[in-house]
């Protein structure tokens, strides 16, 4: 429904719409991580006053000093925000009472049982509920299952207001929308303002206000009929990727037994100009979306009496990939008369994807854990991650070592998990003895620099 077709809205809605149209609305963004901070940039660039809220005071203090804590965003953004009179960084939730629009960009992990863990959404909703007032728009950007915004977030907001004696009704007194984040850290030129935005609300007024707000700071906005459609669309995007990655991971194992190179097969298949999109195998899934989000849908499906067999099967295949990579190292070492137990394995790259300092759900953590459990000694090199950070399910205490001749010579096996551009592949090829390559990085380099690769002495196993 367009603005002209919309039925008359409440006085609170009209007031907020006017503030959006003249950019006088103040926007609070809760959660200043990989999703929230780029959104701060888009909203601030659109001319709004922005309140950046995070419970991590370390981030707040760095923002106040203009220091970047997300390398892929650079220093210019944080320096610009620190110098701006339209940006405030805070860990005081009371300041959110001054925001006309509050956007939640908080994590939605899964439990060990692979069920939704919505503690951050509910906790943030409680914080906003304690300051909720008439005329505010609350938007959830976190990935979640259909129904979360309407059935969980709205009641939490209302309960917070009720505890202060306020009977606020969505669509009349305050407004609630959903717009899934689509951040892809490290992708060149893909800034938040240029990534198309899906938007939906829990009622017509909420949908319209959410749409009009995002249209003021995002180049392309796609309204949908409800918050539930928006929630489902995000899950479809990530289930699609998870299932197709599982397919090529499974085919990799099958083709390997046939003596066929899966990478060459994919390169051949993708010459077809229609009906095929290339996905690539790897050591396992990583990042904040694909390893987690499909389980939100499979959990919700069980609540309505249906099994999502594709999702469950894809999860099983993708979860086993770290073990298969470790098995390649074990077999490669045995072919050289060595055992994995006691061997020194040098892991190259621990970020979940190339050229970022993001380690969320990285398969490197499970690979290192399995190597240690099998008695290997482990070190790693990653130019973007100087120390292995603490993770929800892993506590790995390692620091990155230099990539030089001495470190490579002391390694019985070099295992490529993440193919950063800043890695010296030629040095690895010349000085490593055994390379287990889960990213086809060595072959890619060989094709471009055959004159260098001809001098390699390393034995390379594609994993």
Q: Would you please indicate which residues are annotated as catalytic (active-site) residues?
A: 289
CA distance 361 to 286: 5
CA distance 142 to 296: 12
- Residue 5 tokens read as 């077709």
CA distance 295 to 291: 8
Greatest Cα pair distance in the chain: 79
Sort 429 into a burial class: Cβ within 10 Å, 0-12 / 13-18 / 19+: buried
CA distance 441 to 417: 9
- Residue 321 tokens read as 């990939």
User: Which run of H or E residues covers position 218?
Assistant: none
Give exposure, 99-123, as e/b (b: 16+ Cβ within 10 Å). Answer: bbbbbbbbbbbbeeebebbbebbee
459 touches 328 (CB < 8 A): no
Separation of first and last alpha carbons in the chain? 51
CA distance 386 to 112: 28
Which residues have C-beta within 8 Å of that of residue 151, sequence separation ≥ 6?
none
How many Cα neighbours within 13 Å face the side chain of 351?
20
User: Which run of H or E residues covers position 391?
Assistant: none
CA distance 454 to 63: 49
317 touches 284 (CB < 8 A): no
Q: Phi and psi for 338 in degrees, rounded to 5?
A: -120, 165
């Amino acid at each position: 429904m367009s603005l002209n077709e919309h039925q008359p809205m409440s006085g609170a809605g009209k007031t907020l719409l006017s503030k959006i149209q003249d950019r006088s609305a103040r926007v609070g963004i809760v959660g200043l991580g990989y999703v929230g901070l780029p959104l701060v940039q888009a909203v601030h660039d659109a001319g709004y006053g922005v309140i950046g809220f995070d419970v991590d005071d370390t981030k707040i203090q760095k923002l106040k000093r203009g220091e970047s804590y997300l390398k892929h965003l650079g220093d210019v953004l944080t320096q610009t925000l620190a110098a701006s009179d339209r940006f405030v960084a805070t860990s005081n939730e009371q300041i959110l009472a001054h925001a006309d629009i509050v956007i939640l960009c908080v994590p939605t992990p899964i439990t060990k049982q692979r069920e939704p863990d919505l503690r951050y959404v509910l906790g943030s909703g409680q914080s906003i509920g304690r300051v909720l007032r008439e005329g505010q728009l609350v938007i959830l950007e976190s990935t979640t299952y259909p129904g979360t915004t309407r059935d969980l977030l709205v009641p939490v907001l209302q309960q917070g207001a009720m505890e202060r004696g306020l009977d606020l009704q969505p669509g009349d007194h305050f407004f609630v929308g959903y717009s899934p984040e689509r951040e892809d850290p490290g992708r060149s030129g893909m800034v938040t303002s240029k990534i198309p935005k899906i938007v939906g609300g829990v009622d017509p007024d909420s949908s319209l206000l959410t749409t009009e707000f995002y249209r003021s700071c995002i180049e392309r906005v796609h309204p949908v009929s409800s918050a539930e459609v928006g929630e489902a669309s995000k899950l479809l995007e990530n289930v699609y990727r998870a299932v197709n990655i599982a397919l090529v991971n499974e085919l990799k194992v099958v083709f390997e037994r046939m003596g066929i190179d899966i990478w060459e097969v994919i390169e051949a298949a993708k010459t077809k100009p229609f009906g095929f999109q290339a996905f690539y195998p790897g050591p396992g899934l990583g990042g904040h979306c694909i390893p987690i989000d499909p389980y939100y849908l499979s959990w919700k499906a069980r609540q309505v009496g249906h099994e999502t067999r594709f999702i469950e099967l894809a999860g099983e295949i993708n979860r086993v990939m770290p073990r298969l990579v470790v098995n390649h190292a074990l077999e490669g070492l045995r072919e050289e008369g060595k055992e994995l137990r006691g061997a020194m394995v040098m892991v190259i790259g621990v970020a979940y994807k190339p050229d970022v300092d993001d380690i969320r759900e990285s398969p490197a953590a499970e690979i290192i854990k399995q190597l240690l459990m099998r008695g290997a000694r482990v070190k790693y090199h990653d130019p973007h991650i100087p120390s292995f950070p603490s993770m929800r399910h892993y506590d790995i205490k390692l620091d990155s070592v230099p990539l030089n001749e001495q470190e490579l010579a002391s390694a019985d096996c070099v295992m490529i998990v993440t193919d950063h551009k800043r890695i010296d592949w030629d040095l690895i090829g010349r000085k490593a003895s055994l390379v287990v390559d889960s990213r086809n990085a060595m072959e890619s380099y060989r094709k471009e620099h055959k004159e260098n690769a001809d001098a390699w002495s390393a034995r390379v196993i594609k994993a």
